[in-house]
Amino acid sequence: MEPRKDYDYLIKEFTEEKIKDRFIYLCELAKKIIRQQKLESFCSVESDLISEVVIDYFSDIDRLKKFHGLKKANTFKIAAYTAYWILRRKPIQIKGDINSADSVTKAKIRDINEIFAKSLALGIIYDFRKQVDPGMEATSKLVNFYVHLNYHFVYRQPNPQSLELAFTAFDVFCPFYELSKESGD
């Protein structure tokens, strides 16, 4: 990823290394999601669109920090703004003919960027290596949240603020995982 000259201020604020690391992380995670969904023959990651996601994300976070006088963005903001730009830019693209795919695979192909955004956001917020046994009622709530989040990503027009609110509210009742350490951008 070669940062554009008009975004030098982002390099000064966040460092070139951090921006490149985020670009690499998103590219690798998108490829992993494609593999996990077994969609390698139907989908590919467009690095130019990942670059746009990264630049748009850091531009928004920079504006937020300056406007609100923040030193660091919290984990929920990081997850919400990154997911939002993935949903807007749709960096995983369909390649080739999908007519040979079954209906379940076609649905995964159609929603691949939403699957990517959801996996990324929840992975930023929670440390999935530290799972606890929440019991049946909480398990049902978690499944319900995943279903509604996916529906919201696919059929609604989410914005970063609504996503941040949803992630913050979800944390109130999510006994499944420990929060990730707040790395902050």
Separation between Cα atoms, residue 113 and residue 29, nearest integer Å: 11
| Chain-centre distance for alpha carbon 166 | 14
Give, for all 185 residues of the chain, the pLDDT tens digit: 554 557 889 999 999 999 999 999 999 999 999 999 999 999 999 999 999 999 999 999 999 999 989 888 888 899 999 999 999 999 999 998 898 899 999 999 999 999 999 999 888 887 655 555 555 566 677 777 777 777 878 888 888 888 888 777 776 666 555 555 555 67
pLDDT tens per residue across span 69-112: 988 888 889 999 999 999 999 999 999 889 889 999 999 999 99
Q: Tell me the CA distances in angstroms from 19 to 41, 139, 150, 161, one per residue in order.
A: 29, 36, 27, 22
**C-beta separation of 120 from 79 below 8 A:** yes
21 C-beta neighbours (distance < 10 Å), count: 12
Two structure tokens written together for 171:
């944390």
The tokens 């903001």 sit on which residue? 77
**C-beta separation of 9 from 61 below 8 A:** no
What is the rounded end-to-end Cα distance, in angstroms, of the chain? Answer: 19
In this prediction the pTM is 0.81
Separation between Cα atoms, residue 45 and residue 48, nearest integer Å: 9
163 C-beta neighbours (distance < 10 Å), count: 24
**Cβ contacts of residue 6 below 8 Å, gap of 6+?**
none
**C-beta separation of 101 from 42 below 8 A:** yes
Separation between Cα atoms, residue 121 and residue 170, nearest integer Å: 12
Separation between Cα atoms, residue 105 and residue 109, nearest integer Å: 6
